Amino acid sequence: MTPRKIIIDTDPGQDDAVAILLALASPAEINVLGITCVAGNVPLELTARNARIICELAGHSELRVFAGCDRPLGRDLVTAEYVHGKTGLDGPDLPEPQMPLQDQHAVEFIIETLRNEPKGSVSLCPVGPLTNVATAFNKAPDIVEKVQEIILMGGAYFQVGNVTPTAEFNIYVDPHAADIVFRSGAPITVMPLDVTHKALVTQARNAAFRALGTPVGIATAQMTEFFERYDREKYGSPGAPLHDPCVIAYLIRPELFTGRYVNVRIETQSELTMGMTVADWWGVTDLAPNAYFVGDIDADGFFELLTERLGRL
């Protein structure tokens, strides 16, 4: 099969890093056209640094990495150093990147790439706040029809929220951007907390990463060890949730996931529930579905895939 052309839009973040590694380890299925960075887990300067560190770790310094929006559309930036550490990539001791950051703005790269490709041929994989994607759609509405699919990590229905009682981090940081994306009409697949909180790195799964014995395997074990402390303390869960790699795994093995086509709206008005993904999971409205909202994952299958692929780098 022809590999799917994707742009990864990201705010690394240890789980973002694993998502990038999984994509780069899977060239038969995935062709990464570029990595666009956004402010989220940590400020933009660090996410753009971290994305390049991970490309170099994977042996792919030829990849193009772009810096995008440094703040949400209509709100102050909220970051998550309390989860990901001061650099966003705390855990392993990785060298500063040598590869350059591209001069072009990430939003311009997204617009130009989509305009140059045939209709419905490029998928966007946002695993951070949706600021870059929404800004591109606002500036160039003609590119929406060029999108094959948006597969994003964000939101929650049954898990409700992780950064506030009712909102998941990526959507909460830029709810106005999320609102634009969910209203865009592009085909959307959502990996919410409902599924990513089932993709937990247990001790045995972490040991399997480490047992690869490679720089990638060891760094992945160290990254997941670092950020698991947060979820252990908060949820009492056995390990770190690998949120963002679910997006990439879905491209490689969609049969690992199940969900429903539902209508999803984003709360942008109420400060109390700001950034809530109001998903009509039970079909109680007659609003047309605008997203495939994933609810379940074969976690063992996911970790087998991930470990096997990381072993290829």
Asked if 45 contacts 81 with a C-beta cutoff of 8 angstroms, the reply is: no
Among 102, 170, 189, 268, binds ligand BDR (CB under 6 A): 170
Helices (H), the chain: 14-24, 44-57, 81-84, 106-116, 131-139, 169-173, 175-182, 193-196, 203-211, 215-235, 245-252, 299-310
- Measured distance CA(170)–CA(153) in Å, rounded: 8
We find the least distance from the C-beta atom of residue 50 to ligand BDR, in angstroms, to be 11
Q: Contact between 228 and ligand BDR (CB under 6 A)?
A: no
Residue 231 as a binder of ligand BDR (CB under 6 A): the answer is no
Q: Kindly tell me which residue out of 4, 146, 243, 309 binds ligand BDR, with binding defined by CB under 6 A.
A: 243
Would you say 82 or 282 has its CB closer to ligand BDR? 82
User: Which residue among the candidates 60, 84, 197, 243 is catalytic per the annotation?
Assistant: 243
CA distance 237 to 119: 43
Q: Which stretch binds ligand BDR (CB under 6 A): 11-19, 46-54, 182-190, 265-273?
A: 11-19
Q: Under rule CB under 6 A, how many of the chain's residues touch ligand BDR?
A: 15
Binding site for Ca ion (CB under 5 A): 11, 13, 16, 127-128, 244
Closest CA to 140 of 103, 104, 109: 109
DSSP for 118-163, please give it: -TT-EEEEE-S-SHHHHHHHHH-GGGGGGEEEEEEE---SSS--SS
Partner whose binding site includes residue 168, from Ca ion, ligand BDR, none (CB under 5 to 8 Å by kind): ligand BDR
Q: Give the x/- contact pattern for ligand BDR in 12-51, rule: CB under 6 A.
A: -x-xx------------------------x----------
Q: Can you tell me the distance from the alpha carbon of 112 to that of 34, in angstroms, rounded to the nearest whole number? A: 12
Give the residue with the Cβ less far from ligand BDR, 157 or 169.
Answer: 169
Q: Tell me, what DSSP letter sits at residue 173?
A: H
User: Among 17, 20, 80, 251, which residue sits at the site for ligand BDR (rule: CB under 6 A)?
Assistant: 80
Please give the DSSP secondary-structure letter assigned to residue 276.
-
83 sits near ligand BDR (criterion: CB under 6 A)? yes
Pick one of Ca ion, ligand BDR, none as the site partner of residue 217 (Cβ within 5 to 8 A by kind).
Answer: none
Residue 243 among the catalytic residues: yes
Let me know how long the chain is: 313
**Dihedral sign computed on CA atoms, order 119, 122, 127, 133:** negative
Residues at the contact surface with ligand BDR, assessed by CB under 6 A: 13, 15-16, 41, 80, 83, 127-128, 153, 162, 168-170, 243-244
The residues carrying an active-site annotation are 243
